[in-house]
Amino acid sequence: MRPTALKLTVLILILCGLAPAIKAQSADPINVVTTAVPFLRISPDARAAGMGDLALATSPDANAPFWNLGKIPFNEAKGGISASYTPWLKDILNDVYMASLAGFYKFDDQQALSASLRYFSLGDIQFTDNLGNDLNRFRPREFGIDVGYSRRLSDKTGIGVGLKYIYSNLAEGPAAGNTYKAASAVAGDLSFFYNGHNDQGSGWAFGAVMSNLGSKIAYTDNADQKDYIPANLGLGTTYTRVFNEQNRITFGLDLNKLLVPTPPADPATQAQLDEYRSKSVVGSWFSSFGDAPGGFSEEIKEFQASLGAEYVYNNQFALRTGYFHEDKTKG
């Protein structure tokens, strides 16, 4: 009943022994907005993760290609590179991880090019049939490659455009009545950044990003089983106070919302499911603001909030804290 990518992910978790049967009751119905390739929304860098995924309007660094291309021309350095490796579920498995690489180069004070890579490996999985007989071993994996161009429009504003290629290989061969294959999609990002800091570095900054705007993705040859990728609208702001050359502090807030349709509430009719799947990609970006079965109150619950703070001493040491909120009925 749910999208193909979610079925594949659940199947993999079951095979790994990571999906115990959980029964939960809530006053509000659980209606999660699901997409394929959710790894694209995982924070790849420690700075953003340490502030509850706050990153849209923070000061620019080498990880800006992951968050807001419009920030890159405001980097003080001419170029930069960042790499990370994050074990995933390391207390349960030792071969599941996410790796990332990002970098940028400024031609001058006005424009820059950037590139980034995210790679997510789900480890080796032994597939079996209904009787427990071994079939084959397989390593599900996904990655996204991005290239971007950024330009400063004025002393205060910058924009960026990006293009990404997405590859997802969660299963191969026949299973559950379908023949699965690797899937791919192409998407783009649009970014805006406003830097309202004064000459001392204090002041407000704002960021707005529309990311993962692209085609649906298919794991089978069935045209009716294409899944949405996680198109997202993000709005963020930060306020920085510089006390002196050695001390500064920043507070910020980001709001994010998936620009994909809300699934029909269970139990859903076949007609409702067909309508959900048949929505066009571009149309779903706009209809996602008013299609929740529970009306406006449910739409508000689909927003995610990141609240964070950062204290920096001497541009060498940083203390960060953050809070990430997603409604329990949506995640």
Smallest CA-to-CA distance from 32 within 298, 318, 277 is with 298
Looking up tokens 């579920």 gives 89
Question: Does residue 267 have a cis bond before it (omega within 30 degrees)?
Answer: yes
Segment 112-170, tens digit of pLDDT? 999 999 999 998 887 777 777 777 788 899 999 999 999 999 999 999 999 999 999 99
Residues in CB range of 135: below 8 A, 6 or more apart: 127, 128, 129
Would you state the pLDDT for residue 27?
Answer: 57
Identify the pLDDT of residue 38: 95
Q: What is the pLDDT of residues 4-27, one digit of tens each?
A: 555 455 444 444 444 444 444 445
Between CA 248 and CA 310 the distance in angstroms is: 8
Instruction: Report d(CA 331, CA 324) in Å as an integer.
Output: 12
In whole angstroms, give the CA distance from residue 204 to residue 239: 5
* Pairwise CA distance, residues 301 & 26, whole Å: 14
Look up the pTM and report it: 0.87
Regions of the chain where pLDDT drops below 50: 1-2, 7, 10-26
Rounded CA separation 158/163 (Å): 17
Q: Per-residue DSSP letters for 113-138?
A: EEEEEEEEE---EEEE-TT--EEEEE
